[in-house]
Structure 1
Amino acid sequence: MPAMDIKRKFYVKDVDSRMNIESFDTLILQSLQILKKTDDVTELRILDSPKGTVSGYFDDIESLAENALDYNGRAQIYITLNPVKPALLARSNKTPNFEGNIELLLNHVLLKDREEQILFLVYVVSCFVPNIPHTILVLSGEKGAAKSTTMRMVRSIIDPAIRDLLAMPNSIQDLALILSSNYMPCFDNLDTLSAEKSDLLCTAVTGGGISKRTLFTDDEETILSFMRCVGLNGINVVATRSDLLDRSLILDLQRIDETDRKEEREVWSDFDKDKPSILGGALNILSKAMAIYPTVKLDKLARMADFTRWGYAIAEAAGWGGDVFLEAYFNNINKSNDEAISSNPVAAAVKALMRSRPSWSGSVTQLLESLNKVSERELIDTHSKYWPKGPNILSRRLKEVLSNLKSIGISFDIRHGGDSKIVSISNTRYQKLSSSISRPVQE
């Protein structure tokens, strides 16, 4: 009978045909007694059972033995003593209350207004919809706004884990490993994100993967694939690149007043009391939304089209109103777009350049000169690594923010004009403003 490190683990693949069932049961029970220690929580994972993979946490030897012996001879059994916190065992045993109310979650989260509350609740319910791209939940707010605690609560509802909050790793390979191992990876207390990590997070929410050479081989490939619900938090909005912001749901948390603060134990005690009702309420809304979703036809969809349509169905099922959700979501997209423009020095400079003119035309070199002058006047950081050092880089930077500028009425066209590229920029909102001012008043 294969056994590995009997003091900590016990693994059985199949019953030896020479061993009768009674002696095998005795071996399991003796091994469990060795494994079991007072106050330890044991994880039992049964592979290839008639029900698929079955796992559970046990804090008493009788229940553990009963479940292990039940699958004796019919499955692969793996038992290990994990450093499981007793609180995780308590939370894993919470039974959803399907008569509950997801809005109880708002008692534990301090959001700015009702629009953000609806978006937050819709997001939580949508995370239970598998195999669709989900928006990235981005929580920002000053210190003391309970950003980390809020994210831990959200994850405990959607994807309970011992390591509920994660530090952003240094390497792309380590980030890919985290994304492949967690349904809802939540990264805590971020300040900045590199372009490479932003791109990988974009891939993670819309679906994709990363490949690398398998260790100790020359020609074998290991592929990590994922489609995840990702959470980020920080004092400032950590998502700054336009691609990532287009996929983000940005919510501002308010600072908790000193008179309203509680000890950590009390915070989680109150939350755990409400959690069955929150979870049951979310699943109840989802069951209704599943019936509504096939009938949803929208005139326009945001970039995260699946989330837009499912969000409408969820809001309708919850009684908040699909149109209310759409208005709140598109307002949030505008907010994300403003953030994308303000955090990108090229977009900010073009916006400042076109603030008081309907159009501009010239070579890319002339545009760079004009943007340098505007940036000096507007105190835009031209030492940023995103600021173009030459005309050829400017063309690429403009294309990166094309959709963001178009959303505020600024569009441009780059074409070859002999020895140089010619840029034509138009500001439709300036034209509309000018025509409305010059229009005579009708008496």
Structure 2
Amino acid sequence: MHYQCPECDKEGKTESELRKNGCNCKIQPLQMHDSKDHDGIKQKKSYEKNLDDDKRSDQKKLYDFALTRIDKLVISENNSDEVFGILKNNNHIETFNLSSTRAIHWLTNEHNLFGNSNELHSSDYYKTILNTIISKATMNGTKKVKVYNRIAQLEDEIWYDLGNSSWQSIKITKSKVKLVKLDKDSPVFRRSQSLQEQILPKRGSNFSLDQLVNLLHISEQDQLVFKINLICLFLQAYSMPMIVFDGSAGSIKTTATATVKRIVDPAGKLNQDNVSSMQEKPNDLVIQLSNRYLASFDNVSYIDSKISDVTCRAITGSNNERRKLYTDNDEAIFSFRSKIVLNGIIPTLDYPDLQTRLISYDRETIDETNLITEKEFQKRLDGILPSVLGIIFKTLAKALQKYPELKDTIKPKTRMADFEIWGEIISRCLGNVSNKFLKEYYVKVNQRNLSNQENYPIIQTIQILMKNKKFHEDSALNVYAELSKIAEEKLILNIKDRFVKFPKHYNQITKQLISVKPLLKTAGFDVINYHWTKHDPKFDKNTSIIRISKIESQKTLGEVLPKKSSLPSLSSPSEKQAQKTEKTSESSEGSHKPNSEPSLKSSDSGHKKQASESSEDSESNLKKFYCHTCDAGEWGENESTELNGNIVEFHRKLDHDIQLWEKK
């Protein structure tokens, strides 16, 4: 800013300096803008001067000007049709999808600020210029980069886009959690219309997570797994299980779903902002999932096979192709990995592939004394949300530090292997003992498997068919006839009922056996289908054959039952003799006390040998078994049911924690 006399044209930074510079005019000096203090005016004058000096069309002039304002152009790896411009806007670095409406608004605003045209143009005018820039980037070998929604996970870093107008991000490394401004060298984030600003985190503790699960009424046995699952949703680079809330009306399913969305990827502050209906068409669902880091679906009642397939691919991460226009053969390719949470009263999610990728969480019964209004709930959530985010980010920093050291020591057992590894590491970072998370997670998996087996009668019929067999091979027609007879006579099922999930014809049995193969493995069976090609009259050539076999199991009792290091082991024969002598000595002194309590002993491979050496011991001991996983028992060694056969063997095949009890 400076002063200038309109009569003598002398200048000065102040009026007194103007007088010192020789201005003696009696006219009032003018207050003038200095070009170095006002970049916009300088740019505008430069732009107007250039416009006056050349003969380019107005659109070409604006095109050239737009290129000078864009610092960097990149093409999305996720979708090769998307070109992003990285530029400085309002004192921060911002990323635009040049095909978006926001890019049109930006260019219109730039034209009005720096152009000299008094004409108003339609959006097509600016879209033509932007499309020209996109073509230039596409044909000139512009670099392709990964473009992220909300969260980006690099090797040793996690970036969380806060979604605010300052384009700030939380950067999580092995050593610290830091608030940073995004720049042109940061990961590229896209902001969809649904993305809203996240609150700034503050220092929190494990107590904040306890407050959260209590506010959501998560049942006590599910609280640890839920906490870990919630934190794992921030791991963008890995597949994590879908969270499912089911239950009757009034069990805060929608509220719980919206709360998870608000913690991870908020779309607003109210429940209705953070839940949406699930699209019924696969192509529409692909777009819905690709535009959100975390998709939250409300009141889902049924998922068909096509929607189930899209959901499975989204959780695992894959490419999804669809035709761009019906007038040509171009494809639009969407590559993404999504995190999903949904709810429903009794959602039908019984496709085995989808079942292995979800965890359903129970909630405590809410009586009249625990009911609160939505306004009160949001007030409580607002109070703990900054601390919840703080402890989540702090825990992720610890997990990044420990992951290289611990990842090879954890051996996954399910298809969600990354969830098992990261979940166990995060559990330890929260202060839990080793394997506590894995044990509770496997309980959830076993409960799900048992429930799934009940949903598919064909599994129960195979269990009855194979009760006294290790191997069964026959044509698909004959196997279907045998299993149908068992279903109708033993299970009392009407297999023709459309609500009964049993093959309605023999040519459908192969398809269902393939779909339930993971469930059959958990039940202890391996099923193979092939065509008979041998020159053997046993079957006609090219007949469809089904082979069912029991999965080989360990033979000795000690190998079947896991040992408990904290429990006493069985004594050797010499130790037994010493114990008897000691007991006899104690009895003669009157110090022996009868013991009516059951003694818990871990079994080993030498148990049967020891039992045979002492007939007195074998007669006085009664073997009973208890399942810690199901919290059920006791059963005798040879007890069995018609449906599942030997009870102990059935629980062992499900990899349950079985313990031998001996009652004296």
Whether 2:138 is the aligned partner of 1:109: answer no
Relative to structure 1, the CA distance from residue 381 to residue 178 in structure 2 (aligned partners, 3 Å threshold; closer, same or farther) is farther
Q: Deviations over 1:251-283 (max 9, x none)?
A: 122331111100110011111101111111111
SS in 2 for 1:309: helix
Q: CA deviation at 1:128?
A: 1.1
The match for 2:453 among 330, 341, 351 is: 341
Distance 1:182 1:380 in 2: 44
Indicate the residue corresponding to 2:16 in structure 1: none
Distance 1:356 1:250 in 2: 35
Q: CA deviation at 1:230?
A: 0.8
SS in 1 for 2:293: coil
The match for 1:292 among 398, 402, 415 is: 402
Indicate the residue corresponding to 1:156 in structure 2: 262
Select the structure with the greater relative contact order (CA < 8 A; seq sep ≥ 6).
1
Q: CA deviation at 1:99?
A: 5.1
Percent sequence identity over matched residues? 27
Show the 5 A alignment for 1:5-404.
Answer: 17-18=46-47, 48-49=87-88, 51-53=93-95, 56=164, 92-98=198-204, 101-114=208-221, 116-162=222-268, 163-215=273-325, 217-296=327-406, 297-354=409-466, 360-377=472-489, 378=491, 379=493, 381-384=495-498, 387-404=502-519
SS in 1 for 2:294: coil
Relative to structure 1, the CA distance from residue 367 to residue 96 in structure 2 (aligned partners, 3 Å threshold; closer, same or farther) is same
Relative to structure 1, the CA distance from residue 325 to residue 19 in structure 2 (aligned partners, 3 Å threshold; closer, same or farther) is farther
Q: How many aligned positions are there?
A: 377
Distance 2:502 2:281 in 1: 25
Range with bigger deviation, 133-142 or 376-385: 376-385
Residue 497 of structure 2 aligns to which amino acid in structure 1? H
Indicate the residue corresponding to 1:71 in structure 2: none
Give me the TM-score of the superposition, normalised by structure 1: 0.75
2:203 touches 2:387 (CA, 8 Å); kept in 1? yes
Q: Deviations over 1:168-191 (max 9, x none)?
A: 212111111101011110111111
SS in 2 for 1:48: strand
Give me the TM-score of the superposition, normalised by structure 2: 0.51
1:301 touches 1:309 (CA, 8 Å); kept in 2? no
Distance 1:19 1:266 in 2: 57
Q: CA deviation at 1:394?
A: 1.0
What do you get for the CA RMSD once the two structures are aligned? 3.6
Q: CA deviation at 1:414?
A: 3.7
Distance 1:153 1:19 in 2: 52
Can you give the 5+ residue segments of structure 2 that lack an aligned partner in the other structure? Answer: 1-39, 50-84, 96-160, 167-192, 533-537, 556-624, 626-634, 640-645, 647-661
> Which has more radius of gyration?
2
Relative to structure 1, the CA distance from residue 216 to residue 241 in structure 2 (aligned partners, 3 Å threshold; closer, same or farther) is closer
Can you give the 5+ residue segments of structure 1 that lack an aligned partner in the other structure? Answer: 1-11, 21-45, 59-81
Distance 2:465 2:548 in 1: 10
Q: CA deviation at 1:148?
A: 1.0
Q: CA deviation at 1:431?
A: 11
Relative to structure 1, the CA distance from residue 164 to residue 206 in structure 2 (aligned partners, 3 Å threshold; closer, same or farther) is same
Relative to structure 1, the CA distance from residue 213 to residue 321 in structure 2 (aligned partners, 3 Å threshold; closer, same or farther) is same
Distance 1:56 1:180 in 2: 21
